[in-house]
Amino acid sequence: MNFKRIFSFVNGALATVLCLSAGQPASVSAATVVSASLAQVSSLDDVRQAVIFVTAQGAFWDPQSAAQVSGEWTGTAFFIDPSGLAVTNNHVVAGAAILEVYLDGEKEPRNAKVLGRSECHDLAVIQIDGENFPYLEWYKGTLKAGLPIYAVGFPLGNPELDIEDGIISKARANGDTRWSFVKQVIEHSAATNPGNSGGPIVTQDGQVVGVHFAGFDKARQYFAIARDDALPVIRQLVQGKDVESIGINPLGDILELGGQKFGGIWVQAVQSGSPADDAGIKPGDLLIEMEGKALAENGTMREFCSIIRSRRPTDKMTIKVLRPSTGELLEGQINGRPLKVVSKVSTQTPSTTTDSPATETATLEIVNESGNTISGLNIVSPDAAEWGNNVLKKPLAPGRSTTIEDIPAGIYDVRALDEEGRFLSAIFSVRLEGENTWTIYPRWASWPKNAKESFKDEFASNANKWPLGSSDAADYTLIDGAMNILIKQDNWVAWQTYQRQLASQFLGEVLCRATGDDAECGIGFALDNKNLIWFRVNPAKQEYSLRLLEKGAWSADLIEPSTSVYISPVGWNRYTMGRVGKSIVLYVNGTLIDAVETNKIPRGKVIFGGASNASPDVQLQLDDLIVWTVQ
């Protein structure tokens, strides 16, 4: 068998093998699911009593190796009823032969069984042995952007509860993923990691607004199944019914077999006695058509779930399945005719030469000068949505080095985490060929110890009077706590001056996401509109420079255009610049990338924004401006 994986496996719960990661709904309310009890949690401090550490063991078919893999993974769940009913993600429990849970303050696990599950909503309800458990209530208010929330769970398989704060960034976000297709999703800013899957997103009062199910840490985007989408499904799951499910552990995927590309739903596991099992679907199959409709051509579950939602659970549905292990194409029905082989696809990749060259590999030496123990290292394709598995065999102490071998030569994103699972550093779109070395330096190197936060703008309102509205040059809109700028003209700069004089020494920082090959983000400081220093970054090109405007004309750059692998070409980047002593220092995502001594523009006001350069119609998003003064 010879096939090439086009998409990498990103299901966030497979820990050991992959290092895991508005109004009330009609006819359904929190009372439908949650019984009244004195054990109801009513504060953030008490939430830990109702949150559950989940461990699972089982076997599944790994789409990367196309082989059965046995492993252990972890996730999070939370009680919704004192009788032991708890909610988690389907991808946390799917494929588990053994399911155990640990409750707050208990050292020994309890058994749990799955009552019902939904593949398309990525929800499951489990029953835990015992009674009179503290439980969480559902939030009764309106879900809206800016609502303060907390993500609660057990990231990275650590049994110590973790609580991260944030806000709802978007009350309605895209719920299209490779392992589910959720109708209503909220995007939030509380940082999560693999292992948070199935955990609650709660308010200060411990009320649940959603169930965390996905995070794209590379883009700093985190998502939860919204309360109004979850409650109607949970109501059916607690009755022991599967919802929008045929009994598989699914993953939208695209693979190449015999020189042909196939999109479909990769079957990681099959539930015994389910409609899929009765139809003859096996783990390792790729479900490529349902009711004559091609599935997962973009690698997601959208088509699969849309078809299931338009049918009753007992309806017959025609299916076409590719079995990569044999190259067989099979046709049959869910709730009807079992699968039957109708044709076969070659499993051999066409070749124009008689001798196949050996696959080139690379090594990457990691030198730890960060001052922290490195516990996690991820090496993934730039196209990957998740950071994937930990490639370190054991933690790397400060001052030590280790070498990762047998990496297929290519272009990668690489990330390092400290012993608490927190971000240390990352490099993006780096070509690994032959022998390579990455030295990881301390975060915020040369940061002055006497820096004190002066002011910030989190864009909860338009306090600094950005020119909201539309013009021939640009559109400015304030959406979900971020300033969105669509620059419609080429070579146009959109920036705003903050009306506060800076001290002679200061640091300024902003989060920015720029979409477009010529889109730029920037932060700087200005004496006036004709005299300023500007730290400009083109993320798509991983290019930056430090520009100087004097008397209305651009002078020679203080730092000429340079490239840095610390700039992510996609998603959000955190840009920081400051005047410290006689130097101007530049940081990207916490890493010091450059510095220059200059006495130009000794003081001024902070400015930030972006530019379009040669290409119009570029999109900028700005958030979280923070300015520190150095005493």
pLDDT one-digit tens code per residue, 61-117: 877 667 777 888 999 999 999 999 999 999 899 888 899 999 998 999 998 999 999
Query: For residue 132, with 0-12 CB atoms within 10 Å meaning exposed, 13-18 middle and 19 or more buried, which class applies?
Result: exposed
Buried b (16+ CB within 10 A) or exposed e, 603-625: ebbbbbbbbbbeebebbbbbbbb
Tokens standing for 6? Answer: 């086009």
The 10s digit of each residue's pLDDT in 147-184 is: 999 999 998 888 999 999 989 988 887 777 787 888 78
The 10s digit of each residue's pLDDT in 483-538 is: 989 998 888 888 888 867 677 888 999 999 988 888 999 999 888 889 999 999 99
In which residue ranges of the chain is CATH 2.30.42.10 found?
248-344
What is the rounded average pLDDT of the residues 361-367? Answer: 93
Between CA 406 and CA 391 the distance in angstroms is 11
In the chain, the N- to C-terminal Cα span, in Å, equals 66
CATH of 248-344, one of 2.40.160.20, 3.40.50.620, 2.30.42.10, 1.10.1740.10: 2.30.42.10
Query: For residue 24, with 0-12 CB atoms within 10 Å meaning exposed, 13-18 middle and 19 or more buried, which class applies?
Result: middle
Between CA 247 and CA 117 the distance in angstroms is 9
Residue 5: per-residue pLDDT: 28
Local structure of residue 69 (DSSP, 8 states): E
Whether the CA torsion 465, 466, 470, 472 is positive or negative: it is positive
Between CA 308 and CA 288 the distance in angstroms is 14
CATH of 361-440, one of 2.60.40.2890, 3.30.950.10, 3.40.50.1820, 3.20.20.370: 2.60.40.2890
pLDDT level of residue 134 (50, 70, 90 thresholds): very high
Domain spanning 451-630, CATH architecture: Sandwich (2.60)
pLDDT level of residue 35 (50, 70, 90 thresholds): very low
Q: Which of 430-439, 493-502, 586-595, 620-629 has the lowest mean pLDDT?
A: 493-502
Residue 347: per-residue pLDDT: 65
In which residue ranges of the chain is CATH 2.40.10.120 found?
3-237
- The length of the chain, given as a count of residues: 631
Neighbouring CB atoms inside 10 A of 581's CB total 12
**Residue 8 pLDDT greater than 70, yes or no:** no
Q: What is the domain class of 3-237 according to CATH?
A: mainly beta
In which residue ranges of the chain is CATH 2.60.120.200 found?
451-630
pTM of the model: 0.58
**Whole-number average pLDDT of the chain:** 85
More confidently predicted of 580 and 35: 580
Buried b (16+ CB within 10 A) or exposed e, 94-103: bbbeebbbbb
The 10s digit of each residue's pLDDT in 394-425 is: 999 999 999 999 999 899 999 999 988 889 99
What is the rounded average pLDDT of the residues 332-349? Answer: 86
Between CA 166 and CA 151 the distance in angstroms is 8
pLDDT level of residue 587 (50, 70, 90 thresholds): very high
